[in-house]
Structure 1
Amino acid sequence: MSILLGLIFISPSYGQEVLVLTLEESVKYAIENNVDAKNAQLEVMASKGIIGENLAKGLPQITGNFDFTHNMLIPVVFLPNAGPFADPNIDSDVVPARFGVDFQSALGVRLEQMIFDGSYFVGLKAAKTLKMLTEFDKEKTENDIIEGVKKAYYSVLVNDERRKLVEANLGRLETLLHDTEALFEAGFVEKIDVSRIKVQRNNLNTELDKVVTGTAISVEMLKLQMGLPMNSTIEISEKLSDLNEKAEIASLLENDGYRRVEIDQLNTNLVLANLDLKNNQVQYMPKINGFLTYQRSGASLDFNSLWQSNNWFSVSTVGVNMSIPIFDGFSKSNKIKQNRVQIQQLENQKGFVESNIDIERFQAKANLKNSLKALSVQDENRQLALEVFQMAKIKYDEGVGSNLEVVEADSALKEAESNYFSALFDTLISRVDLEKALGIL
């Protein structure tokens, strides 16, 4: 919340909190508040718990137990009705005898300690490697968030500039319409000349509505990418000229790139796959555990006397057990084969991703160069279209040009301006794509 507080500007007119944002501030806020970023951070925290869980398996395991039994019907044991057990009063070849007491209880504790288990040490290393993977996943998530925030931020700037330009064009047309209506009333132009300009004005009003809506949508998308509440009010404090310096773009085009987190993710997955292989291999080794138990047992024919100390007796044991795998139907062998196949798949995937990154960097640089060329052309076209409109307007004002010529020049100017902003947006998006490809987001 420290970033949020640093961005709040209180409007004295309305008393509403407005977030005045730069691109850097937007990115920082998103890294802390975007839902995906929060979940990625939670995954890192969970991986720390997994490390502790695996470590605990090698520590002493102590359990306690308490039993209480009321033998409502004492179990019967059958003895032969002969010899010392003969009972002449029973007409049977067996004698039923009840052995036991009405009440029994036991209280004990058991300590177990792992002495050797190959899987334990592999599991510890795997848990630490998993934590590394979650940190790389977090970095990848943050890169995706930065990419989304930058593109949304640029979209807001471009749409806002487009809105300002359309409003300026609309004001110019309103002035032209006012002058033409005055000339019509004076009888110097025909009604069709007024109608042409009205059509242009109506079309421009429609375009303005679309641009205003597009600007509002881009603002909402920026808030969503940042993790801002949707009822927040934001303002952009930077201009396109501040974020599109030629020196920075030239530096990007000359950059060969840095490490990509996707390769780190694959390398870590390879380590995990090899650890899984090793874990299945050590399953052929025996497992050794030691144990110590201590128990007090008591019994009585009466519930109250059950708890007297003279009715309780102690027993204690200490020992070691060893589990030796002999034959499992080739289960471990088949798991090992699967591990080796998985490792080969990951190595193949790593080679493909490395090649794909090289192509991605080449393509991103080519796209940015083409976008810059297109932007330069559209900027020149916009300047030329503006000159054509201004000359047509001067000729019309001096009575040597037609109203139709002015309207056509205005249409060409609007088209040139629309093409320019489309090229500008494409350039900004291409720049973000190149930053991502180079690994410098």
Structure 2
Amino acid sequence: MISLKIKKTYKSRIKKLNFLILLMGSIIGQAQIISLKDAHELMLSSNGNIKASSFEINQSQEEYKAAKGLYLPKITASGTYLRIDNDISVDLNTPRDMFGGLLSISNPAEVLGDWNFTLQEKNLGFATLGLSMPLYSGGLINSANKAAKIKYNLAKNNHQIVDNDYTINLIQLYYKLKLAKSVESLRQTIYKTVELHYNQANKFFENGIIPEVETLNAQVALSNANTDLMSSQKDLELATTALENLIGSDNVDSLSTNFSQPNLIKSLGEFQTDILKNNHQLKAIQQNKSLAEVGVKAEKSDYYPKIGLFGNYVPWTDNLTITENTKWFVGVGVEWVLFDGLQREHKIKAAQYKINQVEAIDSQAKLNLQTYSEKLYNTMKKASEQYQSLVLNETYAQKLKFMRTRAFEEGTGTSLEVVDATLKLSQIQFHKLQALYDYNIAYGELMVVSGQTELFLNQN
């Protein structure tokens, strides 16, 4: 009997354990622990603007394929069926009578017959197959294909620019949430520390060790710590919502990518070299310049003749007498504009000014990017120096807090000194987090601008 009860109890515990395991699995499954790279992939798959720019790539790719068709012949088929009000005829009876008179024929109508001929009946139809093919266009078709290819590459590059803009935003929001979580955790620690000090101060006051004013200092510090904690929790909620909206997820629970420790792995000159080589905005400007150069060649093609092959075949007719003995024809056509009111000259000059415009934009863009990269690099450098200094200051502040707390416990220090030491330590820790945030934001943005997004995401 006892053995049976033990078995039932054992089975009951096993069921409860299995239930707890399933419950924990469900909770873990709902919570989302996400890295920066995972967040980037989610953003690419869910963001509407990024998707829209990818459709632009597909559009320009199809237009590029369409431009290749300019080299190929064009075959057309057409059919027509007509009904006109009357037959088309020619009445030659009067000339017949005159001709009969000359021949001394007494009754030309009886002898020569009716000379009223029907050339075309009023009901007619026909079908044709046509062919046309350019043989020489003065380079216009080549220019059209080059322009279409450049536009396709430009669309891909513009898509990458959109991707980069959102990636920079993602880096900022991801690390902002990371900062908000760290600040909230630090506020929790400060609140618990101050709360512990407040409780201790109350006990000392109740035992007559310290005056009431010391407990008031601790109470004010506890109230301030609670206010700061609630504020940090609100900031955390806002940061979480912002990131979730960007990546299209509604359950970001934890961030697995930590802050990178400040480390200037490259010099400013190396970053600027990478920018000049890999920056997608500069690539877009260069592609626009190539497009403008192709535009000049296209305008110059108007100076040359256009030569084309054409042909037609009539496979079916109905009462179309004009084609009874002729079913097809082929030929070569030439068109050469000798004078167009100087339009060509002005169009070429306008196209050349477009090249000059793009060159000026390119020059200024390079200067702007150099200045921008220097600003980001200096932010990284400043944050790195601050972080290294704060690490040392944190050691001193921790020691000071320990000494102030011990002095208070021994009755030789005040509550105000303990609170002051706690706040100094927390202030240094906040500055450390801010320095980490500033460094990582500047570093991530600089890597994206220099065309090294994947390297940055994989490093993190």
Separation of aligned partners in 1, 2:411 and 2:26: 49
Change in 2 beyond 3 A, CA 1:110/1:379 = same
Select 1:106's aligned residue among 126, 132, 141. Answer: 126
SS class of match (2:25): coil
The residue that corresponds to 1:193 in the other structure is: 214
2:90–2:119 contact (8 Å) kept in structure 1: no
- Counterpart of 1:402 in structure 2 is 414
Question: Post-superposition shift, 1:42?
Answer: 2.7
SS of 1:400's partner is: coil
Change (3 A) 1:169 1:361: same
Q: For residues 24 and 313 of structure 2, what CA distance do their matches in structure 1 show?
A: 74
How far apart in 1 are the matches of 2:361 and 2:97? 80
**Cα–Cα, structure 1 residues 60 and 223, in superposed 2: closer, same or farther, change >3 Å?**
same
Letter paired with 1:141: V
Counterpart of 1:55 (choices 46, 50, 68) is: 68
Q: Once the 2 structures are TM-superposed, how far is the Cα of residue 277 of structure 1 from its aligned partner?
A: 0.6
* 8 Å contact from structure 1 (residues 156, 215) kept in 2: yes
Quote how far apart the aligned CAs of 1:438 are: 4.3
Q: Indicate whether 1:271 and 2:290 are aligned.
A: yes
Match for 1:388 among 378, 385, 400? 400
Q: Which amino acid is the alignment partner of residue 385 of structure 1?
A: A
Q: Quote the offset at 1:256 in angstroms.
A: 0.9
Structure 1 residues 28 and 16: alpha-carbon distance in aligned structure 2, compared to 1, 3 A threshold: closer
**Aligned-pair distance for 1:269?**
1.4
Deviates more, 1:30-39 or 1:59-68: 30-39
Q: How many Å separate the matches in 1 of 2:256 and 2:445?
A: 23
Q: Does residue 363 of structure 2 align to residue 347 of structure 1?
A: no
CA contact (8 A) 2:135 2:307 kept: yes
CA gap 1:18/1:84 in 2 versus in 1, 3 angstroms: farther
Counterpart of 1:230 in 2: which secondary structure?
A: coil
Post-superposition Cα deviations, 1:205-264, rounded to whole Å, max 9, x if no partner, equal: 222222223223333333344x3x332434212333xx22x5xx2323377132223332
2:225 to 191, 204, 212: 204
Matched residues in 2 for 1:21 and 1:232: separation?
Answer: 10
The separation in 2 between residues aligned to 1:237 and 1:253, in whole angstroms, is 29
SS in 2 for 1:372: helix
Q: Helix, strand or coil for the counterpart of 1:216?
A: helix
| Bigger CA radius of gyration | 2
Instruction: Name the counterpart of 2:264.
Output: 250
Q: 1:367 aligns with which of 379, 382, 394?
A: 379
Q: What amino acid is the match of 1:230?
A: S
Q: Structure 2 vs 1, CA of residues 360 and 282 (structure 1 numbering), >3 Å: closer, same or farther?
A: same
Using the TM superposition, give the Cα deviation of residue 327 of structure 1 relative to its aligned residue in structure 2, in angstroms.
Answer: 2.5
TM-score by length of 1: 0.80
- Note the aligned Cα RMSD (angstroms): 3.3
Distance of 1:98 and 1:206 partners within structure 2: 106
- Judging by fraction of residues, say which structure has more helix: 2
Tell me the equivalent position of 1:316. 328
Q: Is the 8 A contact 2:191 2:225 kept in 1?
A: yes
Q: Which runs of 5+ in 1 are unaligned?
A: 1-9, 87-96, 301-308
Q: Following superposition of structure 1 onto structure 2, how do residues 205-244 of structure 1 map, counting pairs within 5 Å?
A: 205-225=226-246, 227=247, 229-240=248-259, 243-244=260-261
Question: In structure 2, what is the Cα distance between the partners aligned to 1:397 and 1:13?
Answer: 47
Q: Which amino acid aligns with 2:129?
A: V
Q: What SS is found at the alignment partner of 1:288?
A: strand
After superposition, the C-alpha distances for 1:70-123 in whole angstroms (9 at most, x for unaligned) are 33x43899999987799xxxxxxxxxx998644222222111111111210111
Offset of residue 197 of structure 1: 2.5
Describe the SS at the equivalent of 1:198: helix
Secondary structure of the structure 1 residue equivalent to 2:307: strand
Normalising by structure 2, report the TM-score.
0.77
Query: 5+ unaligned residues in a row in structure 2: which ranges?
Result: 1-22, 99-116, 454-460
- Cα offset, 1:437, TM superposition: 5.0
* Pairing of 1:126-145 with structure 2 (within 5 A): 126-145=147-166
**1:431 equivalenced with 2:451 (yes/no):** no
AA in 1 matched with 2:298: N
Structure 1 residue 167: Cα displacement: 0.5
Tell me the alpha carbon deviations over residues 385-425 of structure 1, each in whole angstroms, 9 at most, x when there is no partner.
33333322222211112222223333333333333322221
**Which position in structure 2 is the counterpart of 1:288?**
307
Alpha carbons 2:244, 2:250 under 8 Å: kept: no
State the number of aligned residues. Answer: 405
In the alignment, is the contact (CA less than 8 A) between 1:74 and 1:99 conserved in 2? no
> Which residue type is aligned with residue 172 of structure 2?
K
**1:20-35 maps to which residues of 2 (within 5 A)?**
20-35=33-48
Contact 1:57 1:120 in 2 (8 A): yes
Distance 2:449 2:123 in 1: 76
Instruction: State the alpha-carbon separation in 1 of the partners of residues 41 and 311 from structure 2.
Output: 55
- Distance of aligned partners of 1:107 and 1:437 in 2 relative to their CA distance in 1, 3 Å threshold: closer
- Of 139-148 and 61-70, more deviation after overlay is shown by 139-148
Q: Deviations over 1:51-80 (max 9, x none)?
A: 111111221111111222233x43899999
Return the letter of the residue paired with 1:364. L
- Distance in 1, matches of 2:135 and 2:434, equals 69
Kindly indicate whether the alpha-carbon contact (under 8 Å) linking 1:105 and 1:298 is maintained by their aligned counterparts in 2.
yes
User: CA 1:351/1:254 → structure 2, altered by over 3 Å: closer, same or farther?
Assistant: closer
Q: For the residues of structure 2 that align with 1:85 and 1:349, how far apart are their CA atoms?
A: 86
Counterpart contact for 2:180–2:232, Cα < 8 Å:
yes
1: distance between equivalents of 2:294 and 2:191?
Answer: 68
2:266 is paired with a residue whose SS is: helix
1:46 maps to a residue whose letter is: Q
User: How far off is 1:27 after superposition?
Assistant: 3.4
Aligned to 1:172: 193
